[in-house]
């Protein structure tokens, strides 16, 4: 009954959409410089290969878009989605690095070694260099490839940088978060540095206190203005917003002063600025002759964080969890090339699917030896066909804190339920171990100084519970656990987990490296590990051994020599 009422409310809320006329240009978030708007698009026949613009928002909650019933106005996103295809069964990963790695490789975390947490700034870690990336494949297909925004796939070696992983140009940050104006980030007390790059160098020239959402949008406009629209372009725009710290220019608070909760109010202002920025990106696509042959994909990288203003209501859980609120994302495709415009796709789609989908659209080649976890879902999105995807491995994290009461016995001897894992097969979703914060956080929770746990629908599971089963199609809010009622389904999904686990590579999660401290790198976060260091260490080790042997030989010959000289002196005396 509750689910039915919520579904009704959700349907009603979809009608509360705001729209923005594309012809009326607003200033603000990333407004182009005056001389930029005076240029005309290059003439000539467009390429048969579509321009691909992938926009990735950071930490946007499932509810935090106008067409999902949010009180935050997002007229640009609402209009783009309404005229395109809304993805309403679309999944990402629960945190930054995992989603980004799966987007750029088309592989699950268990197949890249990044199945635990995120890449920390001080870790000698990055997306493994033996993985072919999406921009590399698009470059092979003749695309110009550009990235603007947040990387968060590691940078400890120069080879890990975006320009070494397939992008012709990069302007943005390497870390997971930082100040929106100063672009500084402290990982811990005393470990602080500047984090804004242009290609492979710190972008000190851009240290002008410009809000990152606006700065990134201006950079996108400059790229579009200088590129020839007759040649295909791939633009990956990974905005920092709406990730903490919660900062926004003052004028975006105008419509949200009635929101009492300060975190929610700031978050709303940040999202309003982001919405306007995307409007300006779309206007630039039209202005410079890209739009008619473009595909715009919009996605959040994970669910919202209620403690930082985000809302996933009516979904359960939050960012960092494998409940639906952590992994079910806002997503849509907008393009004149779509066949079924103005539709809703309820077929299963996952962030790994963009890799094969976009390479195929770009007329590129996918090597046979690349073992992908993604599927080409363009016909599913554009034409409304069935999705080739029937399952999603949300993750298996063997080093996450083990559930105290988990055991092989609880997993029918098939799986150790102490291990954090989650899988979706058709309508069924199974979770084991510790899935993370599991409350539902309704909108009224944002009425006080912070999301108040008294407003939340608290969950108290019986002691020892480490397995959950839900029919997500019938129960998208994960309110009715069916694991006791359907043990055979549980066993089937545990077997599937076990099969996936046999293909997993070892986890890459090294300890921090003191050489990563920006103080040792001119005050900048950046590559610190050099192959020479490794060689020097190896040579030093070999040299030390050689020296030791040499010393031992010298000692021995010195002893022999000393006795000879003594004898000589005695003989000559």
Q: Is 415 helix (H, G, I), strand (E, B) or coil?
A: coil
What Cα–Cα distance (Å) separates residue 561 from each residue in 174, 347, 565, 567? Answer: 62, 86, 6, 10
Asked if 436 and 317 touch (Cβ cutoff 8 Å), the reply is yes
Q: Where are the beta strands (DSSP E) in 28-168?
A: 51-57, 85-87, 90-91, 144-150
Which is nearest to 396 in space by CA: 500, 519, 541, 251? Answer: 500
User: Strand pairing partners for 193?
Assistant: 185
Closest by CA position to 34, among listed 25, 23, 24: 25
- Residue that has been written with the tokens 């040792």 in this structure: 520
Query: In the Cβ-directed half-sphere of 296, how many Cα atoms lie within 13 Å?
Result: 26
- Copy the structure tokens of residue 10: 């959700």
CA separation for the pair 76, 60 (Å, rounded): 15
Triad 52, 204, 216: Cα angle to 5°: 25
Closest CA to 193 of 562, 522, 558, 551: 522
| Burial (0-12, 13-18, 19+ Cβ within 10 Å), 257 | exposed
Residues 340 and 99: beta-carbon distance below 8 Å: no
Alpha carbon dihedral 222, 227, 228, 233, in 10-degree steps, equals -110
Phi, psi of 421 (to 5 degrees): -155, 160
Percent of the chain as helix, strand, coil, to the nearest 5: 35, 15, 50
The answer to whether 87 and 333 are in contact (CB under 8 A) is: yes
SS (H, E, C) 427-482: CEEEEECCCCCCCECCHHHHHCCCCCCCCCECCCCCCCCCEEEEECCCCCCCCCCC
The catalytic site residues sit at: 96, 152
439/434 Cα distance (integer angstroms)? 14
CA separation for the pair 82, 277 (Å, rounded): 18
């Amino acid at each position: 009954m509750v689910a039915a009422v919520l579904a009704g409310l959700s349907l009603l809320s979809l009608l509360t959409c705001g729209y923005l006329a594309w012809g009326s240009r607003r200033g603000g978030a990333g407004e182009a410089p005056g001389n930029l708007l005076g240029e005309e698009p290059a003439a000539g026949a467009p390429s048969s290969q579509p321009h691909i613009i992938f926009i990735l928002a950071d930490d946007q909650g499932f509810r935090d878009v106008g067409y999902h019933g949010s009180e935050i106005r997002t007229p640009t996103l609402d209009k783009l989605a309404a005229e395109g295809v809304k993805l309403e069964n679309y999944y990402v990963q629960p945190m930054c690095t995992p989603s980004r790695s799966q987007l750029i490789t088309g592989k699950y975390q268990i197949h890249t070694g990044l199945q635990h947490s995120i890449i920390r700034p001080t870790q000698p870690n990055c997306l493994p260099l033996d993985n072919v990336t999406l921009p590399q494949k698009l470059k092979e297909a003749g695309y110009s490839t550009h990235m603007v925004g947040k990387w968060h796939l590691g940078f400890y070696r120069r080879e890990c940088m975006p320009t070494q992983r397939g992008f012709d140009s990069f302007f943005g940050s390497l870390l997971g978060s930082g100040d929106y104006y100063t672009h500084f980030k402290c990982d811990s007390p005393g470990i602080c540095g500047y984090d804004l790059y242009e290609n492979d160098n710190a972008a000190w020239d851009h240290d002008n206190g410009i809000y990152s959402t606006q700065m990134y949008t201006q950079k996108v406009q400059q790229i579009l203005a200088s590129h020839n629209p007759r040649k295909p372009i791939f633009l990956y725009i990974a905005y920092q917003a709406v990730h903490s710290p919660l900062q926004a220019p003052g004028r975006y608070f105008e419509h949200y002063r009635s929101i009492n909760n300060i975190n929610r109010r700031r978050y709303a202002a940040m999202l309003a600025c982001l919405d306007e920025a995307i409007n300006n990106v779309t206007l630039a696509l039209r202005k410079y002759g890209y739009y008619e042959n473009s595909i715009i994909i919009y996605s959040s990288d994970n669910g919202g964080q209620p403690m930082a203003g985000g809302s996933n209501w009516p979904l359960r859980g939050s960012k960092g969890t494998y409940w639906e609120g952590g992994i079910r994302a806002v997503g849509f495709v907008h393009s004149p090339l779509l066949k079924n415009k103005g539709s809703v796709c309820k077929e299963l789609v996952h962030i790994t699917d963009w890799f094969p989908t976009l390479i195929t659209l770009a007329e590129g080649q996918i090597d046979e030896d690349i073992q992908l976890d993604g599927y080409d879902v363009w016909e599913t999105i554009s034409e409304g066909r069935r999705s080739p995807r029937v399952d999603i491995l949300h993750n298996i994290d063997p080093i996450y804190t083990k559930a105290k009461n988990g055991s092989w016995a609880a997993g029918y001897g098939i799986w150790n339920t102490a291990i954090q894992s989650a899988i979706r097969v058709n309508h069924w979703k199974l979770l084991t171990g510790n899935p993370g914060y599991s409350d539902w956080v309704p909108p009224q929770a944002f009425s006080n100084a912070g999301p108040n746990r008294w407003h939340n629908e608290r969950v108290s599971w019986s002691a020892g519970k480490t397995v959950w089963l839900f029919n997500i199609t019938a129960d998208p809010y994960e309110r009715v656990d069916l694991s006791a009622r359907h043990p055979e389904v549980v066993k089937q999904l545990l077997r599937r987990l076990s099969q996936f686990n046999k293909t997993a590579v070892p986890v890459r999660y090294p300890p921090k490296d003191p050489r990563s401290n920006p103080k040792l790198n001119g005050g900048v976060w950046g590559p610190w590990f050099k192959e020479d260091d490794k060689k020097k260490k190896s040579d030093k080790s070999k040299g030390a051994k050689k020296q030791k042997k040499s010393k031992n030989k010298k000692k021995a010959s010195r002893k022999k020599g000393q006795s000879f000289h003594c004898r000589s002196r005695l003989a000559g005396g």
